Amino acid sequence: MKVLLDLQYLNVATTGIKTYMMELAKAAKTYPHPDIEWIFTHDPIEQAADHTFKNPSSKFQRLNYHLDYFRWKEFQLPDLVKKHQPDVLICPDFVSPAASLSCRRMTVLHDAFFWQMPQNYPRWWRKYFLNLIRKGLKEKTEIITTTSYSKKALQKHLGEELPIHVVYQSPKSLTSRMDKGIITRNNLDQSPYFFHLGTFDKRKNLPVLVQAFKTFLEKENKDFKLVLAGGPGQSNQMNDFPIVEKLVSDLGLQDRVILPGYVKDEEIIALYQHAFGYVFPSENEGFGIPILEAMGFGIPVIHSDQAALIEVSDGAGLIAKTGDASDLAEKMILLGRDKSLREDLIQKGLFRRDYFSPQKFLQDFQQLILDAAPTL
Render pLDDT for 29-78 as a digit per residue (tens, 0 to 9): 999 999 999 999 999 999 999 988 877 667 788 788 889 999 999 999 99
Percentage of the chain surpassing pLDDT 70? 98
175 lies in some domain: no
Neighbours of 187 (CB within 10 A): 12
Domain identity same for 349 and 365: no
**Could you give the CA distance from residue 196 to residue 37 in angstroms, rounded to a whole number?**
39
| Sign of torsion over alpha carbons 313, 356, 20, 127 | negative
Residues 160 and 189 occupy one common structural domain? no
Q: What is the pLDDT of residues 149-173, one digit of tens each?
A: 999 999 999 998 899 999 999 998 8
Which of 37-51, 162-176, 225-239, 278-292 has the least mean pLDDT? Answer: 225-239
Could you tell me the residue range of the domain that residue 45 belongs to?
2-170+357-371
Query: Do 346 and 363 belong together in one domain?
Result: no
- CB 90 within 8 Å of CB 362: no
> What is the band of 374 on the pLDDT scale with cuts at 50, 70, 90?
very low
pLDDT exceeds 70 at position 375 = no
Return the pLDDT at 232: 84
Q: Is residue 102 part of a domain?
A: yes
CA proximity to 267, closest of 347, 209, 195: 195
Q: What span, in angstroms and rounded, lies between the C-alpha atoms of 5 and 27?
A: 12
Residue 176, in any domain of the structure: no
> What residues contact residue 106 under an 8 Å CB cut-off, 6+ apart?
88, 89, 90, 91, 141, 142, 143, 144, 365, 368, 369
Q: Evaluate whether residue 148 is within a structural domain.
A: yes
Q: At what angle do helices 206-220 and 325-337 cross, to 10 degrees?
A: 50
pLDDT(235) > 80: no
CB 93 within 8 A of CB 15: no
Q: Which carries the bigger pLDDT value, residue 375 or residue 232?
A: 232
Mean residue pLDDT of the chain comes to 93
Per-residue model confidence (pLDDT) at position 376: 37
Residues 195 and 82 in one domain: no
State the average pLDDT over residues 198-204: 93
pLDDT at 83 over 70: yes
Task: Determine the Cα–Cα distance for residues 234 and 64; give it in Å rounded to an integer.
Answer: 17
For residues 188 and 329, membership in a common domain is answered with yes
The mean per-residue pLDDT over the stretch 226-237 comes to: 84
One domain, residues 263 and 349:
yes
The span from the CA of 126 to the CA of 302, in Å, is 32
166 in the same domain as 198: no
Cα of 345 vs its chain's centroid, Å: 22
What is the mean predicted confidence (pLDDT) over 347-358? Answer: 96
Same-domain check for residues 204 and 147: no
CATH code assigned at 19: 3.40.50.2000
pLDDT for 143 beyond 60: yes
Q: Are residues 237 and 249 in the same domain?
A: yes
**Dihedral sign (CA 341, 344, 349, 355):** negative
21 belongs to a structural domain: yes
Angstrom distance (rounded) from CA 98 to CA 254: 50
Within 8 A by CB and 6+ apart from 71, the residues are none
Q: Using the predicted structure, report yes or no on whether residue 260 has a pLDDT greater than 50.
A: yes
Q: Which amino acid type is present at position 75?
A: F
- Let me know if residue 376 belongs to a domain: no
Would 362 be classed as within a structural domain?
yes
Looking at the fold, whether 220 and 346 belong to one and the same domain comes out as yes
Q: What CA–CA distance (Å, rounded) separates 88 from 95?
A: 15
Judge whether 244 lies within some domain: yes
Residues 9 and 145 in one domain: yes
Mark whether 160 and 216 lie in a shared domain: no
pLDDT at 195 over 70: yes
Q: Determine if residue 198 is left, alpha or beta; phi over 0 gives left, psi from -120 to 50 gives alpha, anything else beta.
A: left
The least confident of 11-20, 69-78, 274-283, 361-370 is: 11-20
pLDDT value, residue 278: 98
Tally of domains within the chain: 2
The answer to pTM > 0.85 is yes
pLDDT band at 372; cut points 50, 70, 90: low
User: In the Cβ-directed half-sphere of 264, how many Cα atoms lie within 13 Å?
Assistant: 11
Instruction: Give the integer Cα–Cα distance in Å for 92 and 41.
Output: 12
Q: 371: pLDDT confidence band, cut at 50, 70 and 90? A: confident
